[in-house]
Homo-oligomer: A and B are copies of this chain.
């Protein structure tokens, strides 16, 4: 399908990459904060739509995983959106706990300074070394 068709259609026709994956952003629907970005294959997107729990394809472990399956910190989907050329997914979620395995509410806990260094700007919700 042409990009222009993808932009104007009501038919879902995700443009998966050559590994069959599409980037999927998670946004906290209450705070507006971007919590994480993962990758979905067609099945992960289908399961997310059906279960309303944000589900991804873990590229390193090569398996489906539902965010929160081991911690209970699920991301409950309120709505799913796709972008113009259907190569990015956005899931707006009710966050049931800190999203990042490093112990922060969001994975984006560092800011790039003008000199090109990273500055930690978020408070940690838990210490992963103590928790696991």
Q: Number of A residues whose C-beta is below 8 Å from B?
A: 41
CB contact between A37 and one of B79, B83, B108 (< 8 Å): that residue: B83
CB contact between A101 and one of B34, B82, B84 (< 8 Å): that residue: B84
Task: Give the interface centre of A11, A27, A83, A102 by most chain B CB atoms within 10 Å.
Answer: A83
Task: Give the interface centre of A82, A104, A120 by most chain B CB atoms within 10 Å.
Answer: A82
Q: What CA separation (Å) do A32 and B34 show in the bound complex?
A: 9
The answer to whether B111 touches A79, judged by C-beta atoms less than 8 angstroms apart, is yes
Contact mask A10-43 → B, CB, 8 Å, 1/0? 1110000000000101010001111011000000
Chain A: residues with CB nearer than 8 A to chain B?
Answer: 7-12, 23, 25, 27, 31-34, 36-37, 49, 79-84, 88, 90, 100-102, 104, 107-112, 114, 116-121
